[in-house]
Amino acid sequence: MEQTLTALGGILQKAIPTILLILILHFYFKRVLFRPLERALAERDEATVGARRAAEESLRRAEQKAAEYEEAIRAARADAYREQDQIRRQLAAEQESRIQAIRKSLDDMVREAKARIEQEAEAARQTVMASAASLAEEIADTVLVGRRG
């Protein structure tokens, strides 16, 4: 057993430089390779998160602008509808006034035509009355002359 312990002691003595070399390599790699790598990964992560935040902010601003544009479009449509309604009312009022003017003009024409017809009818009555007396005399003369002869 002593031989084994002595052999083990010799192996450990020969392994000490290897263990030291591994420890030195560990700290060297940690300082030279892993720290810059961790920094690069942290920077990349921060850049990714920053880009994501910037994209979210851009998206939020775009949504806000879209909402503003839609509100402006709604307001413009409402203004257009109000203007159309006002024009429609104005045209309806103008049309109504034209219709009233035409009705008045037609009523005046009908009155004038009735008055003219009345005058013509009166003139025709007077002509018939005047003719009736002379026709009655002619008929009477004809009837009387026809009996005499």
Domain boundaries, given as residue ranges, for the chain = 1-123
- In angstroms, the CA 91 to CA 85 distance is 10
How many C-beta neighbours within 10 Å does residue 47 have? 10
What pLDDT score does 47 carry?
Answer: 81
Reading the block at residue 47, the tokens are 């850049």
146, pLDDT greater than 70: no
Torsion angle, alpha carbons of 8, 11, 15, 16, to 10: 60
- In angstroms, the CA 44 to CA 57 distance is 19
> In 61-83, which positions are buried (b, 16+ CB within 10 angstroms) versus exposed (e)?
eeeeeeeeeeeeeeeeeeeeeee
Q: How confident is the model at residue 109 (pLDDT cuts 50, 70, 90)?
A: very high
- In angstroms, the CA 75 to CA 70 distance is 9
| 12-51 per-position pLDDT tens digit | 888 888 888 999 999 988 888 889 889 988 888 888 888 8
Which pTM was predicted?
A: 0.43
What pLDDT score does 50 carry?
Answer: 81
Residue 82, phi then psi, degrees to nearest 5: -65, -45
